[in-house]
Amino acid sequence: MKKVEFNEIDTNKFDVYVDEDRYGTLEFDKEQNCWVLWPDSIDDGISYFDDLQETKETITDELND
């Protein structure tokens, strides 16, 4: 199982690490009212939920599939 960490930059932005390597950024988009993951490896965001905990759990599950 991969170690997924969310390091808070501020209340609306987190750096995401997988096995201690930077994976991307998780930011809250007020216009869409949801959290968006911006992986460093692609130039596109992935929208999730308005709930931070649910978003973190879903991202962790997806990265471990």
The pLDDT tens digits of the residues spanning 4-38 come to 999 999 999 999 999 999 999 999 999 999 999 99
Residue 42, burial from CB neighbour count under 10 angstroms (0-12, 13-18, 19+): exposed
What pLDDT does residue 33 have? 98
What pLDDT does residue 55 have? 98
Q: In sequence order, which residues have a C-beta less than 8 Å from that of residue 14 and are 6 or more positions away?
A: 6, 7, 8, 25, 26, 27
The pTM for the full model equals 0.94
What pLDDT does residue 39 have? 98
Element (DSSP H or E) covering residue 17: strand 13-18
What pLDDT does residue 4 have? 98
What pLDDT does residue 6 have? 98
* Spatial distance between the Cα atoms of 38 and 26, rounded to a whole number of angstroms: 6
